A and B are shown apart, each in its own frame.
Chain A
Amino acid sequence: MIDPIWIWLTPYLGALALAILWISGVRDERIYGGTAVGSILISALIATILTPSVYHGHLIYTKYSWLPSLGINFGTYMDGLGAFMALVVSWLSLLIAIYSTEYMKGDWGVQRYFFFFTFFVGSMLLLVLADNLVLMFIGWEGTGLASYALIGHWYTDEEETWVGDPGRKAFGTPMYFEPSHSGVRAILFTRVGDIGMIIGMALFYMITGTFNIPQISETATGWMSFLASKGVLTAALLVFSLGALAKSAQFPFHEWLVTAMTGPTPVSALIHAATMVKAGVYFMLRFSPIFYNGAEQLGGAALAATEHYFNIIALLGGVTAFMMATMALVSRELKLIFAFSTASQLGYMFLGVGAAGLLAQKEMAYEGIAASAAHLMSHAIFKAALFLIAGWAIHAVHSRFIDNMGNFSKYMKITTLSIWLAGLSLAGLPPFSGFWSKEGVIHAAQAAHLENLWFLAVFTAGLTGFYTTRAIIRVFHMPPYEPPHHEAELHEAPPRMLWPYTILAFTALIIGLVWPFGFGADFSNLISKTLGFEEPVKLAVEFNATTYGIITWVLAMVLLVPALYLVMKVDFVSILKTSKTARILHDFLYDRWYINALIYIIIVGGFIGAIDLLGYVDGFIDAFYHIGIPIAFILISKGFRSMHKGRPDLYLAYYAYGIGLLLLMLYLIWG
């Protein structure tokens, strides 16, 4: 049996090798790409070899002592969820790494790119396989660091690397973002959540005396009843989950993900679609069964508090899903559409977990959680494909705006097929993989009697179909609104870019096809081996009237797009020019519900105000230390020295006073 530690250690060693190569002066990008692909391939193979054992019910758990005093080990914990995540992360990373070797060819920072890419993969795998919170947090922050570095990869901030329309402002707040600015945004937004996560970790350690996740699970009833008795269980769980909400770009932390699109497109595909943003979902999948089981066993106040928590999670997920989908409707940047869509789909996953936590029946609750996991997988696959295609599209016309793209279907048949496969999977139409998983989430919301959120989710599914089809029709089947500024390279992508996304797109289809014929059951079986799953899960979609209704609604929205654009030839641009109402609505969505402006004005502006205020306070403190104290000392010093006038008569008088003082003092003490 291979030690599972190698799954995450191999990419780290790859990154270390790249760092050493850089220091040694090696600059050949093929060596960098090769090392990255090779180390990730080894990691993916090890994960694949080990998974069958987990599938058959053997937990793979190894540990090496690290900080014995805190009980922290280098523990690799490979249960059903861990194995599943390791597979998704490692294989997707491999395909995207291969794509990157072509995409980043000749880039001035390609060596740095592959270093952080490999470092990211190691951190992500560490995150999903760590057996304790501290180790998990190290992986967590490692992914954040790599994300920051790769978002700001083109830190010289040329205009073609920006996100947003240059010059556009909302309430005076610029709505265009340079890579270096976006990198800082990403790290700051997620940092807010991570502080909550650290507080949660410290809280668990104080109560349970351990960082070990299985032990936290075992002692769940203990610490949950303690927190519930203090009336802070809901708050504690929410604070602990803040890191997950921020990492997975859930409202109100979603803003960083949108502007993270300044990074190279493979980075958007890997980190900001397929893997890192799923860390928050992984966190929920990992911990929600623990919270759920604890609450079920305790009942009473603990159950009520936990249900309150899951309600909030479901609400945030549902709202995010809807909000981000509306923004995707009007976006003019291809990557941005997919970024909105990513946050929206992550919202579905949170909704699924939140709804599952509210279900009284154990197996149904686990099913809801597993449905979120399934959506995580299907989304990772089709969204990675979409981003990789977007990367080629942007490269082809040298523009990120879909206005400059058009009629791609005439020049690239395989790519057109791929984007339709991936896109329809995103839209959630059968028989694509996205249908089964999204249906599972919506079903959980219905079962949990979250009628409003269920309706919102169904409505959003239609919006998803609409914006996905809009993007595909605009780019592949309509002439461009504006011709590209540079001469376009309208032909199929080179093989190393073409094959990864074609494979992914077909995977989305094939998984969907085989889902009802055993794959769904196999997947359920693997997830059933997860920590905290007390009953085996059976994911199965029941086709009833509601299901058919939803499919019809989504299909109608998908078909509406070609009807509007190709048949009725509605001119949205002139509508926007003439109708004020349309413009107000468009600007509201285009400027992202003005949330970014509000965050900048209220939070950033508030902090700047606080800085000014503290500046005054600091000024006083500064003046006290640098002016007040020195002046006081100078005055005292000069006062003392002025008594030394060199006159013996004065000295004798002073001496006499001294005698008096001494006698007085002795008298006082004596008395």
Chain B
Amino acid sequence: MALDITGNITVLTYIILALGVIIPLTKPLKLEKTRIPYSFAWLSTLLFSIVSYEAFYALKTSDTLTMFNGLVTYNSFSAFMLMVSALASALVLMAIKGRAEEWPTAPAVYGLLPLIQFGLIFAMGINDALLLLAIWLLVSVASYVIIALPKDVDSVKGAIKYALMGSLATLFLAVWVALNIVATGSFTILPYQIGLATLLGFGAFILSIGFKLGIAPFHWWLPDVYGKSNGYGVSIVAGIVKIGFIAITARVIYYISAGGFSTIVTVTLASLAVVTMFWGNLAALTTRNLQRILAYSSIAHIGYILVGLTALSYAAGAHDLQLAMYSFAAIAIHVAAYSVSKAPLFAVMGEGHTELSDIKGLFHRDPVSSVSMAILLLSLLGLPPLLGFWGKLYMFTAIASYSLPLLVIALLNSGISAVYYGIAIRDMLSTDEGTAVYDAPRKASLATAATIIIVAGLFASTLFHIMY
């Protein structure tokens, strides 16, 4: 029996959207404190992962999968990124169990998750600039709201800054949409012609996406939002939403560079990569608040991903399809390592602003959590054989053909990051008594993520060759 995968995915997408509308209805029915919203969020995540699985299934027989009247085209990179988002969603849901129900805004966060997933299904393979703007608005607004939902002072302050900067960025995205039409002659994202419009369009795109991803020097909101707001909200924004924007960036960068514009793009991305890596890693060095360390390390990781994007841009410009596919796959592996680590780590930061002194002696109080956290941190550092090592390895191998100095700088930055990850791990192993304790859901989330990082690390080359 032949499966109508396009049809299936369309139906599932609408069901997910419907769940996003149904879950808030539990509030007037006074069901917001029950298990129902949480279960529906799980259902949405399950359907979301089925979408990614079906996409993989379809891509076994063809290179691409086009849906929604040609507005969305999937390749294996898109499907893989979708799968990672599903995994990150599951990890966040595991950790958040029983928490969001206590917020005054319950069950809003459970309702927003399906909306974000709905947006991501489009974001992963978007072809149309206008649709991109729409998805951008949907997901962005959902993100601002999610950050504000716990309603504590820091979260609300963070959400305000996030929204303020976000509106500016959205403005530049609108500029890009307009210039995209000038550069390509249509709303469709195609290889760009060389011209002033392309240059300005690229600039506008970098300004908007730089804000969204936290590329220095457009990252100003990020330490406040990631570093101070409620960790559950951050885990959704940093662990799930970001994947969609990375996918969008990779796709747009590929098309801009493929059109013969690659020199400027590549040099710009490489410069931004250097600034971003150094900024994130150096700022994290003297921070003694674990959540802020994670925030700065998120900036650093965007720097590493920019290294991968630089390789992608170079490959696109050189019409080296082999290297381009290699770079896409490398970015995907790194994003997987990043998301699977960051989602549960931010989630366990929870309501408290976890200081390093709080996790002191965690190993003696809670070996499962501390070992899991250590594995996730070491993966972020890039220690073999964990998944984070392979992401960096593939990306840095890809960049070697373009620029050795950039490769050296990236390695140097990995070295710098060892300091603060090392300090965090040392504190967990120390005999001093901190205060942090993690309950069963959070422990489960950490342990699951650590297991995935180890197992995926052992099979990294298999994962890589799904895409390459």
Within the complex, the shortest CB–CB distance from B158 to chain A, in Å, comes to 9
Closest chain B residue to A646, Cβ basis = B224
Which applies to chain B's interface (DSSP): helix, strand, loop or mixed?
A: helix
Whether A658 lies near B286 (C-beta < 8 A) is: no
**Is there a chain B Cβ closer than 8 Å to A636's Cβ?**
yes
> Which A637-663 residues sit within 8 Å CB-CB of chain B?
637-638, 640-641, 643-644, 646, 648, 650-652, 654-655, 657-659, 661-663
Q: Does the CB pair A663–B203 fall under 8 Å?
A: yes
Q: Does A64 contact B (CB under 8 A)?
A: no
Alpha-carbon separation in the docked complex, A658 to B214 (Å) = 12
Whether A654 contacts B217 by the Cβ 8 Å rule is yes
A residues in contact with B211, CB < 8 Å: 655
Known contacts A654-B217, A666-B199, A644 near B223 by CB under 8 Å:
yes
Q: In the complex, what's the smallest C-beta–C-beta distance from A637 to chain B, in angstroms?
A: 4
Are B286's CB and A655's CB within 8 A? no
The answer to whether A670 has its CB under 8 Å from any CB of chain B is: yes
Q: Are A670 and B283 in contact (CB under 8 A)?
A: no
- Whether the pair B286, A638 counts as a contact (CB closer than 8 A) is yes
Chain A's nearest CB lies how many Å from the CB of B194? 10
A-chain residues with CB within 8 Å of residue B168 when the two chains form the complex: 652, 655
A669 interface contact, C-beta 8 A = yes
Chain B residues within 8 Å of A648, by CB: 160-161, 164-165
Interface assignment of B206: CB less than 8 Å from any CB of chain A: yes
Query: Chain A interface secondary structure, helix, strand, loop or mixed?
Result: helix
Contact of B165 among A651, A661, A662 (CB under 8 A): A651
Chain A residue at smallest Cβ distance from B419: A633
Q: Which of A634, A636, A658 contacts B210 (CB 8 A)?
A: A658
B371 within 8 A of A: no
A643 surroundings in chain B (CB, below 8 A): 220
Interface residues in A, total, Cβ within 8 A: 26
Indicate whether B80 reaches chain A with its CB closer than 8 angstroms. Answer: no
CB distance from B429 to the nearest CB of A (A): 22
| A666 surroundings in chain B (CB, below 8 A) | 199, 202-203, 264, 268
Q: Is A559 an interface residue (CB 8 A)?
A: no
Give the docked Cα–Cα distance between A655 and B287 (Å).
Answer: 23
A123-161 interface bits toward B, Cβ cutoff 8 Å, 1 = contact, 0 = none: 000000000000000000000000000000000000000
**B292 CB to nearest chain A CB (Å):** 9
Q: Does A598 contact B (CB under 8 A)?
A: no
Task: Confirm or deny: B12 has a beta carbon within 8 angstroms of a beta carbon on chain A.
Answer: no
Cα(A670)–Cα(B437), bound, Å: 54
Chain A's closest residue to B299 (CB) is A640
Instruction: Say if the beta carbon of B122 comes within 8 Å of chain A.
Output: no
Interfacial chain B residues near A670, Cβ < 8 Å = 199, 264
Are B268 and A655 in contact (CB-based, < 8 A)? no
* CB-CB under 8 A for A655 and B218, given A644-B223, A666-B199: yes
CA distance A4 to B160 in the complex (A): 91
A585 to B326, CA, bound (A): 85
A665 in contact (CB, < 8 A): yes
A669: nearest residue on chain B (CB-CB)? Answer: B264
A655 vs B162: C-alpha distance when bound (angstroms): 13
| Contact indicator A633/B203 (Cβ below 8 Å) | no
| B263 interface residue (CB < 8 Å to A) | yes
Specify which chain A residues have a CB less than 8 angstroms from the CB of B206 in the assembled complex: 662
B216's closest neighbor in chain A, by CB? Answer: A658
B295 closest partner in A (C-beta):
A644
Which residues of chain A are near B164, meaning CB under 8 Å?
A: 648, 652
Tell me whether B282 and A637 are in contact (CB under 8 A). yes
By a CB distance below 8 angstroms, the chain B residues around A669 are 263-264, 267-268
Within 8 A of A (CB), among B171-216: 199, 202-203, 206-207, 210-211
B271: interface (CB < 8 Å) = yes
Of listed B157, B210, B217, B416, residue having the most chain A CB within 10 A: B217
Smallest Cβ-Cβ distance to B211: which chain A residue: A655
A661 to B217, Cβ gap below 8 A?
Answer: yes
Q: B residues within 8 Å of A by Cβ?
A: 157, 160-161, 164-165, 168, 199, 202-203, 206-207, 210-211, 217-218, 220-221, 223-224, 228, 263-264, 267-268, 271, 279, 282-287, 416
Other A-B pairs, 6, CB within 8 Å; known A637-B285, A646-B228, A651-B221: A633-B416, A648-B161, A659-B207, A662-B203, A666-B203, A666-B264
- Between A and B, 8 residue pairs with Cβ closer than 8 Å are A636-B282, A638-B286, A648-B161, A651-B221, A662-B207, A665-B268, A666-B264, A670-B199
A contact set with B: CB distance below 8 Å: 633-634, 636-638, 640-641, 643-644, 646, 648, 650-652, 654-655, 657-659, 661-663, 665-666, 669-670
Going nearest first, the 6 A-B pairs with the smallest beta carbon separation are A651-B220, A658-B217, A637-B286, A640-B283, A637-B285, A637-B282
